Structures are given as structure tokens and as C-alpha cells.
Amino acid sequence: MTFILSASMDTLQIALLIVSACFLPLIIWMMVAGIQVRSRFAKYSQVPSQKGYSGAEAARAILDANGMRDVQIVRCAGSLTDHYDPTTRTVALSQATYDSRSVAAIGVAAHEVGHAIQHEEDYAPVKVRTKLVPVVNFTAKLSMPLILLAFVFEILGYFSNFSMKLSTFFLGLAVVCYFFYCLFTFITLPTEYNASSRAKKQLVECGILTEEEVADASVVLNAAAKTYLVSFAFSLVQMLRLLLIVLIRRNRNNN
């Protein structure tokens, strides 16, 4: 029995080392993905569309073609801060997208309209993601305090076994919080990829971009999609690391 517990501990510790070693590559990947989005958007922002649509005009054309004339298009501050707000049925386009007549701007605007179409059609991942938003907002506020409490009680655990158990308990609650965030980032993946797929289809069907121009816009959209992929990977590694620490501590307490 002691041998089995020892073997289990060794396995968990090795797994923890492997998971922890993933952080640095993920941080580098995250930085590279962010740089790629900005550089590719900047590059294709210099490529004017043949039909001469602006980002806002392209968004309006796609919305009207899908019978969504009540969806508004507004400006928002910042760069690459474009988003769709389902609560107000508003497509918000950044300054770099709203007036620009580039292939990149039109692709980004169409992507946000893709989210509006998803919402209109009750696309399943969007419905799940929307329901998760309040849960994630709540658990996000709890995760860091729980980790800090776990750290404090871990220090006190050198003097009291009960304090160490409390530390493990709070760390376990932090794992639950990270689980919801991890689930949120996972559900975001099909939402974003599907929005891009819809955008590319609509751009061609509405005659806004040629197929060659859509290929250029796809370079920008694909780069943006990678940031969501690395976000999910990072959240998964964070959750697994905390979970492994909890399991290792519980094994020690049972040993």
C-alpha cells in the first residue's frame, strides 16, 4: 500500500513538473501570437479593397443582406477592440476598422457581424458562452483571493496541520474557479472560428471582396484565432497545475 501511494506521488510530481514546464513556451507563444495579429493587421491595412467598401459599410451590407437592419454599427475607442454586444445588438468597430477601406478592416468588421448572425440564429456555443459570462465574472474575482488565502494558510501549515488542510481547501476552490474560466475559453474557440467562417462566406456572397481578397483577410482572422487558442491552452495549464498541487497535498495527508 505504501509503495502504491509512493508511486502515485511520483507520478503526480512528474506530471506537475511537465505541466509547469509548459508555462514558458505558452508565454512565448502568447507574445508571438499577439505580435502576429498586430503585424498582419498592419500589413493588410495597407491593401485597399477593389470594391472600395469601408469596414462600417461592409458590416452594414452584410447585416442588411441577412435581414438584420435593426443591428446598429458604432465606433469604439482603441485599436483591434472591435466586438459585438448582444445586449444592445450593436457591432462596435474601432477607429482602425470603421473608416478604413482595407482588406484587413473589412475582414475584421465581417467577423464581428458573424457574431451578430450567430446570436440571431441562436448558435449553440454562443448561447453556452453567454450563460457562462456571469459565472466567469464571479469566479474570476474569487480566484486570486482564494490563491492568496491558500498561500497564507500554507505558511501557517508549518505550525498547524489544520491550517495546511485549509490551504488545500482554498486551493481546491481556486481550481473550480479556473475550471469555469477554462471552459469559457474552450467554448470561445468554436465561436470565434465559426464567426470567421461566416465572415468569409458573407464577404464573397455579398460581393464585398473577391476570393483572392478574402484569402488576404483570412490571414488576419487566422492570426486572431490563434490568440484564442493560446488563451485556452494557458488556462488549461493553469487549472491542471493547481489541480495537481491539490492532489499531491491530499496524497501526503493520506500517507
Task: In whole angstroms, give the CA distance from residue 204 to residue 237.
Answer: 39
Give the torsion through C-alpha atoms of 105, 119, 74, 71, to 10 deg: 120
Task: In whole angstroms, give the CA distance from residue 28 to residue 32.
Answer: 6
Q: Taking the mean position of all CA atoms in its chain, how far away is CA 238?
A: 14
Q: Taking the mean position of all CA atoms in its chain, how far away is CA 108?
A: 16
- Based on the number of CB atoms within 10 Å of its own CB, is 101 exposed (0-12), middle (13-18) or buried (19 or more)? middle
Report in angstroms the alpha-carbon separations of 172 from 162, 238, 239. 15, 13, 10
Give the torsion through C-alpha atoms of 141, 142, 145, 146, to 10 deg: -160
Grid coordinates given for 175: 481550481
Q: What is the CA radius of gyration of the chain?
A: 23
Tell me the catalytic residues: 112
54, 108 contact by CB (below 8 A): no
26, 240 contact by CB (below 8 A): no
